[in-house]
Homo-oligomer: A and B are copies of this chain.
Amino acid sequence: MTSSYSNSPCAACKFLRRKCNQDCIFAPYFPPEEPHKFANVHKVFGASNVSKILNEVLPHQREDTVNSLAYEAEARIKDPVYGCVGFISGLQRQLLGLQKELDATNADLIQFTIQGSSSLGLGHVDHSHDFYNYPSNFEQ
């Protein structure tokens, strides 16, 4: 038997038990040695929807598309209720927590600046307005 890697059907065609042609849209992104990648996206999105999305984007965007679909699919399989939306909520919580911590630290810093400069006899140095200029587009 002389079958080589290049003659192997891609993971998608193997999974779907169909012939893998040279123009197979899945082949470049679903190599036979990663069967779970296709199984996951197939389970969550369906092969037909994945194929539709791949045909909708530009060829150079297909790898990123497949990777983001595989990421979402894996997250949904691990957490059927929230999928990767659970990560988004977690990150948003972390961001809010960090922003609060930063605000508190900046408030301490301002306090130090006011106390430090007045006791140094240098008069009032006003940087305070800069500290609060956080972009308002942090929270979504």
Contacts and interface: CB of A to CB of B under 8 A. Distances in A.
A19 B121 CA distance: 82
A4 to B, nearest CB: 32
A64 interface: yes
Nearest to A43: B49
Contacts of A135: 138-139
Interface residues of A, number: 59
A72 B82 CA distance: 10
A61 B84 contact: no
Given A109-B112, A119-B121, 17 more contacts: A43-B49, A45-B46, A53-B80, A57-B81, A69-B83, A87-B140, A91-B95, A105-B106, A115-B116, A120-B120, A120-B121, A120-B123, A125-B128, A130-B131, A130-B132, A135-B138, A137-B139
A76 interface: yes
Contacts of A34: none
